[in-house]
Structure 1
Amino acid sequence: MKKRLGIISLFVLLFIAFITIWNFSYQQGLEEGYIPVEESTSKHYLPSEAGVFERSEYAVEYSNMPVDKNHQRLLKDYYKNRAYHGAPPSIPHPVKEMNLGENTCLQCHQNGGFVNKYDAYAPVTPHPEMINCRQCHVAQNSNTLFKPANLAQVKAPKVGVNNALIGTPPMIPHQIQMRENCLSCHAGPAAPKEIRVTHPERVNCRQCHVPTDRVVSDIAPFTRTKSDNNE
């Protein structure tokens, strides 16, 4: 009798375990399949446009900064410091090879500021995470084995001619890669006078400004023809 009760109890326990496991499996099957996404500070905008928000914490400060008319950088000087349009800017001041690398350059170029030694504001780099600066930026008048090449001189885009239509926001006349951080070049005292924005507090730049895939010339890319105006 005891043996029979033991066998019955075992079957009851196995049946209860089966029902419990089956119910758990059934409930799991009712849930929708999903891929867990890690929490990110860029969840409110597209990842490809996340770079424009990297200096957003300084946007209000840029907006409140007074204009230093005695130390403004001009656009012609901005382009003069490049081998060709689109090239990385060269280093216009003396450098010591032993002091370069890691965070040496970032001491001045990560957040900018006035440098008494050169009587100028240090330009802010749009990519402070790339600390091997000399990989792309070369010093002017340096003793190097590389001689200047006959590079194609592409005409730099002018200011005020790259609007799609009259009164619309200007398009972005350069590539976005490694230049995602708009405020680093278009806001603050180190920004060239002609391209310094009047509204740095509006950090979502790509909401209104769209990139163009070519260098803008004196002719706007969306100029209407006579036939278009007659339609």
Structure 2
Amino acid sequence: MKNRFVIISLCIALMISAIVIIDISLESGREEANLHFEPEEYSPSLPTESGVFRRSEFALDYENMPGNESRARKLADYYMNRAYLGAPPTIPHALLSETGIGGNSCLQCHENGGYVDQFKAYAPVTPHPEMMNCRQCHVAPKTKSLFKRINWEKISHPSIKGSALEGSPPVIPHTLQMRENCLACHAGPAAPKEIKVTHALRINCRQCHVPVQEFSTMRLKWDSTDQFFRKPK
């Protein structure tokens, strides 16, 4: 009789435990998802494009910044200011100070861009304003002639029209190192008109545009005969 009472008590305890566990599970399922993000906890899903997310608050400023089409830079001028593909641009104007760098000099014009009356030109936006030692990479040319003639040949510039399909988003024809803020070169009055975007507010650029290294591995060609995509031979 005593054993039977123990078994019945154990079964009742197990049933009560099961009811409690099910109730807790149902209650937790009804709770709303916690979508709260602290502003200080910045963690972009695409680290190689972190700059454009950090500067996204200025996207509308870049897009609406007044400019002058007659003074717009051309892509040829953009490349002329670089020793080779991917090189940091030289400083094409007189220096405000031989020792001035960062916020004391360069970033006064290049942090947010805009028209600079002193040079009668639009200042390009730097994609990495957090790197304050500007003269470590950017130098002012001292002469227009070569110190010593060499056989260096410039690398051909990348195509800006590469797309998987006609009308699809173009690929990114360069690396993203030191160029994480796409808006720096592709928006604003200082952007070369050939690569200036019309949708600066869509800041998640790599949602549609992929680096050419990734694109080259999946390039497909439309076969009009069989009506499907195939890799080119």
TM-score of the alignment, normalized to the shorter chain, above 0.5: yes
* Residues 68-107 of structure 1: CA deviation (Å, up to 9, x unaligned): 2122111110001111111111111122663322421111
Distance change (3 Å), C-alpha of 1:119 and 1:102: closer
Structure 1 gaps, min length 5: 1-37
**Which AA in structure 2 matches 1:85?**
L
Cα gap change, 1:133 to 1:148, in 2 (>3 Å):
farther
1:52 corresponds in structure 2 to 52
Alignment RMSD, CA only?
Answer: 3.1
Amino acid at match of 2:84: Y
Q: Does 1:73 align with 2:73?
A: yes
> Are 1:166 and 2:194 counterparts?
no
CA contact (8 A) 2:48 2:177 kept: no
Once the two structures are TM-superposed, the CA of residue 41 in structure 1 deviates from its matched residue by 4.2
Provide TM-score, normalisation by structure 1: 0.70
Report deviation, 1:206: 1.0
Q: TM-score if structure 2 supplies the norm length? A: 0.69
Whole-angstrom CA distance in 2 between matches of 1:230 and 1:39: 46
CA pair 169-132 structure 1, distance change in 2 beyond 3 A = same
The gaps in structure 2 that reach 5 residues or longer are 1-37
Which residue is 2:157 aligned to? 156
1:83-162 equivalences in 2 (<5 Å): 83-95=83-95, 98-103=98-103, 104-142=105-143, 150-159=151-160, 161-162=161-162
Letter in structure 1 aligned against 2:121: A
Aligned length: 189
Provide closer, same or farther for how the CA distance between residues 149 and 135 of structure 1 changes in structure 2, counting only shifts above 3 A: farther
Superposed displacement of residue 116, structure 1: 1.5
Q: Partners in 1 of 2:223 and 2:142 — Cα distance? A: 48
